[in-house]
Amino acid sequence: MQTTTWQQEKYSGKIFRLTEEACPCVYTIADEETAQELVKDLTGQKMTLVTIDGITWEDELSPWPVAKAFHGGQDFTGGADKFTVFLEEQLVPKAEQGLGFVPTYRVMAGYSLAGLFSLYTLYKTSLFQRIVCASGSLWYDGFVDFMKARQMQKLPDKVYLSMGDKEKITKNKRLATVEERTLEAEQVLCQQGITTIFEKNSGGHFLDTTERVAKGIRWVLNNRKQNKALSSVAA
């Protein structure tokens, strides 16, 4: 495995080449520790992983301004459009210029608010052909209505959705809608003919976070024919 470090503006990260042959390129938001765990979980996959650190989550990953989700937290400022332009015009070309091949396709993978952002990119760019939205913040105010009202730049090949089976058990009324909203999002995707899976994992939002992303990546990398709108509960 070859590993290189990149930095541009306030952002930084690593590029992990898990194979020498032409392969998919997977982009994900991850700090150094998470990146190393994710690479370990993805051993044997034929892919290149590009991790992105230096994110202000409440800004770059939020589609539009909404109030904070927790007392003492930060309001969401809606900088996702600007960050998507940065990905398309600067980061992706920089990350791929040294690969020596054109990726067979690109994946955007994320957890929590980064999972929401992964889905959101479909409406702003045609850069990514497969999406991983692991325990995505689909409770985000107005997001599923946005999905219903807007057209994607280009329909993706596959979308992976997941959440913990206890995530909806919370006194926070906004976050308590997460399972209902995720199921609505699944239906929006399936109605457009997109190969989609909704997978439930055991536990709450903060359990096995890296492994949940890795599971999603493994699923979207699998090119075998699969049914749409599958549902399962992982032990």
Q: What is the pLDDT of residues 138-169, one digit of tens each?
A: 999 999 999 999 999 999 999 999 999 999 99
The per-residue pLDDT for 226 is: 52
Mean pLDDT of 81-95: 96
Dump strand ranges (E) for 48-137: 48-52, 65-66, 76-77, 106-111, 130-134
8 A C-beta contact, residue 210 and residue 41: yes
pLDDT band at 224 (very low <50, low <70, confident <90, very high): low
Pairwise CA distance, residues 231 & 87, whole Å: 31
Closest by CA to 182, choosing from 130, 129, 136, is: 136
3-state secondary structure of 106: strand
CATH code at 119?
3.40.50.1820
Q: Using 50, 70 and 90 to split pLDDT, how confident is the model at 234?
A: very low
Q: Is there a contact between 52 and 91 (Cβ–Cβ < 8 Å)?
A: yes
User: Quick check: 109 pLDDT over 60?
Assistant: yes
Q: Which of 96, 108, 91, 93 is CA-nearest to residue 8?
A: 91
Instruction: Report pTM.
Output: 0.94
What residues does 130 pair with on adjacent strands? 107, 158
Residue 235's pLDDT band, with cuts at 50, 70 and 90, is: very low
Confidence class for position 208, pLDDT limits 50, 70, 90 = confident
Which domain, by its residues, includes 94? 2-234
CA distances from 103 to 17, 26, 89, 212 (A): 12, 9, 16, 24
User: Closest Cα partner for 162 from 130, 136, 193, 129?
Assistant: 136
Structural domain count, the chain: 1
